[in-house]
Copies of this chain bind each other. A is one copy, B any other.
Amino acid sequence: MVFERVAIVGLGLLGGSLGLALGEHCPEIATSGFDADPDTRARAAERKLVGTVASTLDEAVADADLVVLCVPVGAMGAVARELSGKLKPGAVVSDVGSCKASVQRALSQALPEQIVIPAHPVAGTEQSGPDAGFAALFQQRWCILTPPEGAPEEQLSALTQLWERLGAHVETMDAQHHDLVLAVTSHLPHLIAYTIVGTASDLEDVTQGEVIKYSAGGFRDFTRIAASDPTMWRDVFLNNKDAVLEMLQVFSEDLTRLQRAIRRDDGEALFDLFSRTRAIRRSIIEQGQDDARPDFGRKDH
């Protein structure tokens, strides 16, 4: 089985990139798309993010045999309920959300008749909106599928092949485990980046102008992550609350340990940690998830 018609709901960074990647790698697949925001729909049509930008949700999904929800995770349930009774029998419903347990629950409850296979391509930039997407976003990135118990093998392998054609490596895991892993590799880093940027902008003895001027010392890298879409990230933290709080707890304990090492002038403890962390960086580069060159190997799109 292969997908012939793919509908994308939500035409921001992820939805737009998915549409462009499908157009580039799977030209034989007919793509349609919808976004609740008329301006986004207009811009999506101008940029040709999908083959057809529909003016209503129903129209966008009517003939689709795969519907991919690319909206903030907090909006998945409401969109899924709107889709109820409007999809082709046997149509597969998937998504690109950063949390999987809550999304899987919301989609399965709202669309009990459909085949639901949640997905999370671990890729993105700090940009958002219909101008942010580009076809190469998923190249060499991992896409995690969290099929519910008893998800049909045929549709699961069709979705796997589709993501692989877009340049992604596909991994399958349990939704709860996904949420724990991403709490570490994505959610906690964003939470910390948002916090430190907030901290730096509220100081009494250091002006915001100074923070901006001297940001090249390391701070600017945090501001990049902290420029990500506020709605998307609010929803991530509310929908992956337990795992995020658990990881935050471990992080806080480690930070306290390091604080103590500084207070006690324990240079050895600092040096040991600072040396250990280099090895992880090396592995990330070896496995193609980042680039050692000053430009990170990221080119303009």
Contact = CB atoms under 8 A, between A and B. Distances in A.
Contacts of A210: 181, 185
A37 interface: no
B184 A289 contact: no
A300 B293 contact: yes
Interface in A94-144: 98, 122-127, 134, 141-142, 144
Contact of A271 (B171, B177, B231): B231
Nearest to A281: B227
A276 B201 contact: yes
Given A171-B213, A213-B287, A265-B241, A221 B224 contact: yes
Given A213-B171, A215-B289, A254-B195, A280 B225 contact: no
Interface residues of A, number: 107
A252 B256 CA distance: 9
Given A180-B206, A181-B206, A270 B220 contact: no
Given A255-B252, A259-B248, A281 B189 contact: no
Given A185-B217, A214-B182, A227 B277 contact: yes
Contacts of A275: 230
Nearest to A269: B234
A252 to B, nearest CB: 7
Contacts of A180: 205-206
A277 B198 contact: yes
Contacts of A3: none
A1 interface: no
A208 interface: yes
A78 interface: no
A193 B218 contact: yes
A38 interface: no
Nearest to A282: B227
Contacts of A220: 284, 289-290
13 contacts: A181-B206, A181-B210, A185-B214, A186-B218, A187-B218, A199-B250, A203-B250, A216-B289, A227-B281, A238-B267, A244-B262, A248-B259, A294-B298
Interface of A: 98, 122-127, 134, 141-142, 144, 171, 177, 180-182, 184-203, 205-206, 208, 210-228, 230-231, 233-235, 237-238, 241, 244-245, 247-248, 250-252, 254-255, 258-259, 262-263, 265, 267, 270-271, 273-278, 280-284, 287, 289-290, 292-301
